[in-house]
């Protein structure tokens, strides 16, 4: 195994490893898990593995989850197919900085994403280190957001383009989740800035310390949320990965955000992702 760090803040490329083998080898899997906690996202090339091996490897981290909007492979539940073709419109959600499924009460622990087919140029994906984003916040901002909580919504994102009946049914199935603005990573103990494109508003901002009059509530909270969400845009927190067929990315969804760059239409881009059930943020 060879490990090459890709940036000073996030990401490493791992070579000399087959994930099909890692699905069966405890020591090899444990080393990959250790590297993931250290680098937050791992990249591998030339992973000519089967869907069954893809699912088996991801299941070493935990049970897999389906997505209520994106379709899964019928023979491999939990393997979500993210297929883009010239005939299908952009879904407007991948090409935004986000942490997967924070609209769930229990968001995914992480994901294993494999490229099946991609454009010759374009279609990169970027990741950002949200532990570092929190660490670098000014002290006065850290003090302001300590104890703050926020809502995350599938209705306001995936549901927004649906007819009202489908949108309301989706919200009934997945009511807006509430999470801490700063979560604690359950394995490393790091503090993580935990707001993203699915975050709609703070739920406990309206206190005497923050609001003098009711008129203060919305502008004050919105400005603060906009500032926090914007931290992911800082290049020093990011890594960018260029896909090739059979490339794989493994990321820790608890402490990262990612952005799929849609600069490739009218090309075909087919990705398959196994999302791993996580734990309730605290």
Residues with a known catalytic role: 98, 100, 258, 273
113 secondary structure, DSSP code: E
Neighbours of 123 (CB within 10 A): 21
- How far is it, in rounded angstroms, from Cα 110 to Cα 273? 10
Q: How far is CA 247 from the centre of its chain?
A: 18
- How far is it, in rounded angstroms, from Cα 213 to Cα 220? 11
Query: What dihedral angle (degrees, nearest 10) is formed by the CA atoms of 128, 129, 135, 139?
Result: 20
- How far is it, in rounded angstroms, from Cα 10 to Cα 40? 6
- How far is it, in rounded angstroms, from Cα 198 to Cα 171? 13
- How far is it, in rounded angstroms, from Cα 263 to Cα 243? 13
- How far is it, in rounded angstroms, from Cα 12 to Cα 169? 41
Three-class DSSP labels, 195-207: CCCCEEEECCCCC
Contact 83, 114 (CB under 8 A): no
What is the three-class DSSP state of 17?
Answer: coil
């Amino acid at each position: 195994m060879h490990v090459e760090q890709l940036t000073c803040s996030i990401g490493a490329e791992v070579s000399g490893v087959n994930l099909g083998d890692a699905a069966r080898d405890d020591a090899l899997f444990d080393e990959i898990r250790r590297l993931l906690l250290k680098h937050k996202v791992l990249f591998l090339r030339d992973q000519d593995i089967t869907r069954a091996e893809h699912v088996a490897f991801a299941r070493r981290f935990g049970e897999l989850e389906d997505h209520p909007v994106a379709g899964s492979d019928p023979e491999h539940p939990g393997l979500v197919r993210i297929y883009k073709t010239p005939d299908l419109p952009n879904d407007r959600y991948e090409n935004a900085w986000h942490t997967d499924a924070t609209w769930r009460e229990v968001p995914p622990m992480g994901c294993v994403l494999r490229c099946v087919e991609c454009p010759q140029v374009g279609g990169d994906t970027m990741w950002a280190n949200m532990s570092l984003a929190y660490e670098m916040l000014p002290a006065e901002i850290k003090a302001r957001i300590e104890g703050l909580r926020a809502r995350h919504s599938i209705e306001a994102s995936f549901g927004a383009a649906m007819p009202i009946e489908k949108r309301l049914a989706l919200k009934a199935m997945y009511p807006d989740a509430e999470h801490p603005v700063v979560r604690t990573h359950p394995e490393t103990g790091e503090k993580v800035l935990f707001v993203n494109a699915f975050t709609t508003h703070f739920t406990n901002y309206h206190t005497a310390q923050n609001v003098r009059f009711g008129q203060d509530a919305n502008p004050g909270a919105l400005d603060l949320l906009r500032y926090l969400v914007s931290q992911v845009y800082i290049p020093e927190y990011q890594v960018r990965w260029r896909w090739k067929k059979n490339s794989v990315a493994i990321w820790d969804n608890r402490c990262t955000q990612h952005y799929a760059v849609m600069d490739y239409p009218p090309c075909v881009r087919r990705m398959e992702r196994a999302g791993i059930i996580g734990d309730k943020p605290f």
